[in-house]
Structure 1
Amino acid sequence: MIAVGIAPPSLLSRVDPRVRLLCVLAASAWVAATPRLLPLLALAAGSLLLALVARVPAQVLVRRLLALNAFMAMVLVTLPFAPGGDVIGQLAGASIYSDGLMHALRIMLAGHALVLLFVALVATMEPVTLAHALLHLKVPDKLVRILMFAIRYIDVLHDTRLRRERAMRARGFTARCDAHTVRMTAHLVGALVGDSLARAQRIEQAMRARAWRGGFPMLHHFHLRATDLLFGLMFGVSLLSIGAVT
């Protein structure tokens, strides 16, 4: 689920949103080009520090990391057993290969670094601030509108799903590994799609009735300050230093 504006004001919240977005983009490119473990570990530690400076609530941080590690568990139980490199051990009769293990560790470190960095620099923005920053960075207007509507209405869709699931349980439905559960799940998904289309039509009609012209007017314009440029410069130097030293 998309979540923005999850933290109270902090030192990082004063940095120009455009600079913060560009920093995350630069870090993503840096991670993609960095195959070594130590630089990725250093970036993950630095990203955790930024999340603490951004005053991200602990429960939010833990929830994001748990969701990430649910996926990373699949990486850990598959890649180390892929043939390649030297055999470094055995587990339940299966060989653990060095190349697969290194790939799994790199994916884990890169994922944690980027998630922590995104939470610290992007998820702490208010939705409108994020949209305006994207528009200032010349992101296509249609993509920004899709993002804004997703942020606004994904919780509504989630609540609709919960209400329908409660209604199903009230009528005696219990999820099992059988054809009936698959059929009922398909009905639930179809109902959610129908609800989404109907709601989208009502929202469009209401917006047109309020003179919607297909765009978000920008009333607040960002202005770069010396501190914003300094933050961006320090962030870039830190990336280069981590890659060079470690």
Structure 2
Amino acid sequence: MDYPRIDAYASLNSPIHSFDPRAKIITFSVLIFSFAFLENINAAAIAVAFSLLLLIVSRLPLGFVFSRIKVPLGFIVSILVIMAFTVGGKELFSIFGLRVSYEGVHLGTLIVLRATAALFLALLMLGTSRFEAILKALYMLRVPGILVQMLMFTYRYIFVFIDEFGNMKNAMESKGFQIKGNSRHALSILGNAVGMLLVKSYERGDRVYSSMVARGYTGNPIILTKFKMKGSDYVLSGVLLSAAVLFHIFPVIL
């Protein structure tokens, strides 16, 4: 099965795409943390607009963006509903006896705006660079090699295991297996299938490691691509880092 990659549009031409991966990781990470700690709802709303502007500049297709954010965005919006009904304060209205408070709506909206802005930035960081370039940049930024390689192998083999489970599911269904309600028998069979998948994963991992060692693997990634900062990279880094600071000065000015 052909799965859509997070870096499917990493070859586009835009200022964000040509941004040095090392600088991109640092600046976007600072921006994400900056947006995550905003306390003013107006600043958080502007942060979302700023993130959308960066998305437009990156020229990533809207369909691609929506397909990547719809699931986490649905989870984020659910936080607003939960906060509206659970946080105490001034009552706005009630639904079937459940009170909706102003403080809950305000706090929930703030959380949703902050998380949405951070989500857009994370998609920009990962969607405008090849995943291999991101991994190499992390290694060059002195992130422990074991963590970088864990990310690499997870991304590489998660689709293999999804295919493996799909094949097992098709084999079970071809023999008449169906999940009906809360059938303990069906759940038991699913549990056995998941256990078998874990066993196959372990065996595959052992085979892959043995083959890598046979080819000279020493535990350290080999980087062939060299990154070089350009003048435009320094300018864009300065603009984004300045924005991260200004978003916290903005509420003080208000």
Contact 1:10-1:53 within 8 A present in 2 as well? no
Give the 3 Å change call, closer, same or farther, for CA 185–61 of structure 1 in structure 2: same
* Structure 1 counterpart SS, 2:221: coil
Structure 2 residues not aligned, in runs of 5+: none
Q: What's the counterpart of residue 244 of structure 2?
A: 239
The residue type equivalent to 1:10 in the other structure is N
Q: What's the counterpart of residue 191 of structure 2?
A: 186
Shift of 1:73: 4.4
The aligned runs of 1:1-246 (5 Å cut-off) are 3-7=5-9, 8-11=11-14, 12-178=16-182, 179-245=184-250
Runs of 4+ off more than 4 Å: none
* Structure 2 counterpart SS, 1:189: helix
Write the deviation string for residues 49-97 of structure 1: whole angstroms up to 9, x where unpaired: 2222222233321112211133124313322111422111112220012
- Alpha-carbon distance between aligned partners in 1 of 2:8 and 2:90, rounded to the nearest angstrom: 45
TM-score by length of 2: 0.89
Structure 1 residues not aligned, in runs of 5+: none
Cα RMSD between the aligned structures? 2.0
Write the deviation string for residues 181-216 of structure 1: whole angstroms up to 9, x where unpaired: 322221222122112111101111111111111111
- Alpha-carbon distance between aligned partners in 2 of 1:2 and 1:133, rounded to the nearest angstrom: 23
Give the 3 Å change call, closer, same or farther, for CA 218–236 of structure 1 in structure 2: same
Contact 1:79-1:103 within 8 A present in 2 as well? yes
How many residues of Structure 1 are paired with residues of Structure 2 in the alignment? 246
Contact 2:77-2:112 within 8 A present in 1 as well? no
Contact 1:160-1:192 within 8 A present in 2 as well? yes
* Structure 1 counterpart SS, 2:71: helix
Write the deviation string for residues 73-130 of structure 1: whole angstroms up to 9, x where unpaired: 4313322111422111112220012222222212221221111111112232112211
Give the 3 Å change call, closer, same or farther, for CA 2–135 of structure 1 in structure 2: farther
- Alpha-carbon distance between aligned partners in 1 of 2:63 and 2:194, rounded to the nearest angstrom: 30
- Alpha-carbon distance between aligned partners in 2 of 1:30 and 1:114, rounded to the nearest angstrom: 9
Segment drifting more, 64-73 vs 157-166: 64-73
- Alpha-carbon distance between aligned partners in 1 of 2:104 and 2:159, rounded to the nearest angstrom: 38
* Structure 2 counterpart SS, 1:95: strand
The residue type equivalent to 2:12 in the other structure is P
* Structure 2 counterpart SS, 1:212: coil
- Alpha-carbon distance between aligned partners in 2 of 1:58 and 1:231, rounded to the nearest angstrom: 23
TM-score by length of 1: 0.92
Contact 1:79-1:101 within 8 A present in 2 as well? yes
- Alpha-carbon distance between aligned partners in 1 of 2:71 and 2:162, rounded to the nearest angstrom: 17
